[in-house]
Amino acid sequence: PERRRLMDLAPGGPGLPRPRPPWARPLPDGAPGWPPAPGPGSPGPGPRLGCAALRNVSGAQYVGSGYTKAVYRVRLPGGAAVALKAVDFSGHDLGSCVREFGVRRGCYRLAAHKLLKEMVLLERLRHPNVLQLYGYCYQDSEDIPDTLTTITELGAPVEMIQLLQTSWEDRFRICLSLGRLLHHLAHSPLGSVTLLDFRPRQFVLVDGELKVTDLDDARVEETPCAGSTDCILEFPARNFTLPCSAQGWCEGMNEKRNLYNAYRFFFTYLLPHSAPPSLRPLLDSIVNATGELAWGVDETLAQLEKVLHLYRSGQYLQNSTASSSTEYQRIPDSTIPQEDYRCWPSYHHGSCLLSVFNLAEAVDVCESHAQCRAFVVTNQTTWTGRQLVFFKTGWSQVVPDPNKTTYVKASG
């Protein structure tokens, strides 16, 4: 893991440019726009882009790499930004294989097997929380024929430090996305799928949704067993022993491995922190149950969806907004351009911008902040449909704005 992290931080080493990737080399005239993958296991008819789409890409940027693959960000001729993934010719896997065996073409095909496996799984496991495969391209590169490049949806890396500074609503969305993904993997058309390499770096964010992007270490088969001693799930902090079925398979091992990894990498950090107080007991039960593997993915997702319903419908408020006796004056079509203060977590680092279910909750938030004297309701909403509101220290300057409504504390 440390080596992979250093690879990401130092793309080519000081003063060492990365080798030109296969897709950056010119295609021969007459190259097909959608070449079929050789052999069995080629993806279905879903992907649409092929080699022709890579003829005139622009703005290529190196994103990162692991032991085997490198990822680049490019812009297609039509303007859309996509990710391109190819075997890293300067990567660990290809380099160590060539040093040991001296067969460059054979070593490339061995490394490319991971990329091909991932491409097939992206196609077979299509889901809103699985990165979308747009296409692929086979073309000759240097001394190696038929090098493979996959074309996928572009996402942003998952940075846990940054996520901890975002709103609870956005962090909950990530956990809900993960719950839906794990439910899909447990009931996929291929059977129960487990992610053997389950870390934040295997995921990306696309418009706030969490999506798995790295599937070359995914496994479909359950673990065979002769008894429960063969069904031990091992993690750094603790182990779990699962039952061995009469058919000779460890019951639910793939599902439980995914679930515990979701707990230790995501849920325990993102779910409870700064959540609405009335939702904390339910969120704590989700964290505790997944940490003990007391629930499967079905129950975990059901409880996450319950949290979403309580939050989106406003039922979580529990009449907490009915006690305020402070009156506010409504000033339509107006805003307060300055007089900001910082609160946490906020949607804007320089001001206090929060989401509310209704006007009563906005009043309640303002009353709970000692420095709040006014608030501005915008026409912008979050992914749950809640309105974004700026909270202010005063209202010395109110200016026209047709998209906002200002509320100020009535004097006296």
Q: Is the pLDDT of residue 46 over 90?
A: no
Give the H/E segment covering residue 298.
Answer: helix 297-313
- What's the pLDDT score for residue 36? 36
For residues 406 and 412, give the distance between their C-alpha atoms in angstroms, rounded to a whole number: 18
Residue indicated by tokens 């996520």: 163
Task: Annotate 265-295 with DSSP letters as a single string.
Answer: IIIHHHSSTT--GGGHHHHHHHHHHHHTT-S
The mean per-residue pLDDT over the stretch 16-34 comes to 47
Q: Is the pLDDT of residue 195 over 70?
A: yes
Question: Residue 380, class by beta-carbon neighbours within 10 Å (0-12 exposed, 13-18 middle, 19+ buried)?
Answer: middle
Q: Is the pLDDT of residue 38 over 50?
A: no
For residues 388 and 355, give the distance between their C-alpha atoms in angstroms, rounded to a whole number: 4
CATH architecture of 156-317: Orthogonal Bundle (1.10)
- Helix, strand, coil percentages (3-state) for the chain, rounded to 5, are 35, 25, 40
CATH architecture of 51-153: 2-Layer Sandwich (3.30)
The mean per-residue pLDDT over the stretch 70-85 comes to 92
Q: Is the pLDDT of residue 402 over 80?
A: yes
Q: How many helices (H) and strands (E) does the chain have?
A: 10, 19
The CATH number assigned to the domain with range 328-409 reads 3.50.4.10
DSSP 8-state code for residue 44? -
Indicate the residue type of 33.
G
pLDDT in tens, 381-391: 999 999 999 99
Q: Is the pLDDT of residue 276 over 80?
A: yes
pLDDT in tens, 335-347: 999 999 999 888 9
Q: Report residue 78's pLDDT band, with 50, 70 and 90 as the boundaries.
A: confident
Residue 141's contacts (CB-CB under 8 Å, 6 or more residues apart) are: 22, 25, 147
Question: Residue 390, class by beta-carbon neighbours within 10 Å (0-12 exposed, 13-18 middle, 19+ buried)?
Answer: buried
Residue 188's contacts (CB-CB under 8 Å, 6 or more residues apart) are: 124, 125
Of 18-22, 79-83, 96-100, 302-306, minimum mean pLDDT range: 18-22
Spot the catalytic one: 197, 230, 340, 364. Answer: 197
For residues 44 and 28, give the distance between their C-alpha atoms in angstroms, rounded to a whole number: 26
Q: Is the pLDDT of residue 280 over 70?
A: yes
Give the Cβ contact number of residue 14 at 10 Å. 5
Rounded to the nearest integer, the mean pLDDT of the chain is 87
Backbone angles phi, psi at 335, to 5 degrees: -150, 170
Q: Is the pLDDT of residue 18 over 70?
A: no
Could you tell me which residues are beta bridge partners of residue 389?
Answer: 354, 377
- What's the pLDDT score for residue 129? 97
CA torsion sign, 358 to 364 to 368 to 373?
A: positive
Of 160-169, 233-242, 318-327, 353-362, minimum mean pLDDT range: 318-327
For residues 150 and 148, give the distance between their C-alpha atoms in angstroms, rounded to a whole number: 7
- What's the pLDDT score for residue 33? 35
* Cis peptide bond prior to 345, omega within 30° of 0: yes
Task: Return the higher-pLDDT residue of 4 and 114.
Answer: 114
- What's the pLDDT score for residue 42? 31
Percent of residues, the chain, with pLDDT higher than 70: 87
Q: Where are the alpha helices (DSSP H) in 153-273?
A: 160-163, 168-186, 253-262, 268-270
Q: Is the pLDDT of residue 180 over 80?
A: yes
Q: Where are the alpha helices (DSSP H) in 55-150?
A: 92-101, 104-124
- What's the pLDDT score for residue 47? 46
CA torsion sign, 181 to 185 to 186 to 189?
A: positive
The mean per-residue pLDDT over the stretch 209-234 comes to 94
154 contacts 176 by C-beta, under 8 angstroms: no
Q: In the chain, where are the structural domains located?
A: 51-153, 156-317, 328-409
CA torsion sign, 121 to 124 to 127 to 131?
A: positive
230 is catalytic: no
Backbone angles phi, psi at 340, to 5 degrees: -90, 160
Percent of residues, the chain, with pLDDT higher than 90: 71
Q: Report residue 324's pLDDT band, with 50, 70 and 90 as the boundaries.
A: low
Q: What three-state secondary structure class fits 177?
A: helix
